[in-house]
Amino acid sequence: MPNQQPLKIAVLVSGNGSNLQVLIDQMLADALPIKLVGVISNKADAYALERVRLTNAQHHSAIQTAIIDRDNNGKKYSRVGFEQRALAVLGEWQPDLVVLAGFMRILTPLFIDGVSQTLNVPMINLHPSLLPAYKGVNTHQRVLQTGERFHGCSVHMVTSELDAGRVIAQAVTAITPHENAEQLQQRVHGLEYQLLPLVVNLFARRLVVWQSGTLINQSGLPMPLRLWLD
């Protein structure tokens, strides 16, 4: 849409940040109409932070970072302490969308309600399964153990129930014979790198919007979108 402001995004990470890198790359290439305003990590050694540092140095970007790992006395933040500080940071950044991308900490209603009600912005999560199946962890191994024919990943709204929010879109792939969990994980990562930008673009183009705590689908497309992405 002409003259529309880029969608301001904040991302929460815990580790490598490969999905964060995809968003950075597409932002820099103007492939997504977004502005990455900041990255919050609950791990001081998360490589995702280095990705931001390199981006800022090489492209004169101004992506902010907040490390909420240990306090000034070296004590690890409690869950409540982390969430209170993270909400305060998000309040300063004023994002339009919060993205959990490889964020490995279960959030409580304190944070989830703070984002959706106090800040009044949507929060999405990238999960490595075809929800509602295989919530939680170790999804690739569990899928193989139960003999599923298909696997993939989902982007869903974050609610207080783990991996139970409304699914916006899914990427599906067929499981190949003799595939192990590590191989399957790598293939699903490839799907994630396509699916997350697709969903972010729906928000950025205002094809899905957040109004008074409700996700409104204005795209005319079915939701969840189910896509074969290889």
| 212 annotated ligand-binding residue | no
- Directed axis angle between helix 18-28 and helix 181-204, to 10°? 40
3-state secondary structure at position 107: coil
Which of 59, 60, 127, 156 is flagged as catalytic?
127
| 17 annotated ligand-binding residue | yes
| 106 annotated ligand-binding residue | yes
- Write down the residue that tokens 């990562």 correspond to: 189
Please tell me the distance from the alpha carbon of residue 132 to that of residue 165, in angstroms, as a whole number.
9
- Reading the block at residue 215, the tokens are 């996700």
Nearest to 10 by CA among 129, 107, 90: 90
- For residue 105, what are the contacts with CB-CB under 8 A and spacing of at least 6? 14, 42, 79, 82
Please tell me the distance from the alpha carbon of residue 143 to that of residue 207, in angstroms, as a whole number.
32
Please tell me the distance from the alpha carbon of residue 41 to that of residue 15, in angstroms, as a whole number.
8
Q: How would DSSP label each residue in 2-43? A: TTPPPEEEEEEESS--HHHHHHHHHHHTTSS-EEEEEEEES-
| 175 annotated ligand-binding residue | no
Bridge partners, 156 (sequence order): 125, 167
Please tell me the distance from the alpha carbon of residue 196 to that of residue 194, in angstroms, as a whole number.
6
| 19 annotated ligand-binding residue | yes
Residue 60 known to be catalytic: no
- How many other CB atoms sit within 10 Å of the CB of residue 26? 19
Numbered residues of the known binding site: 17-19, 79, 104-107, 125
Numbered residues of the known binding site for (6R)-10-formyltetrahydrofolate: 79, 104-107, 125
Active-site residues: which are they? 127
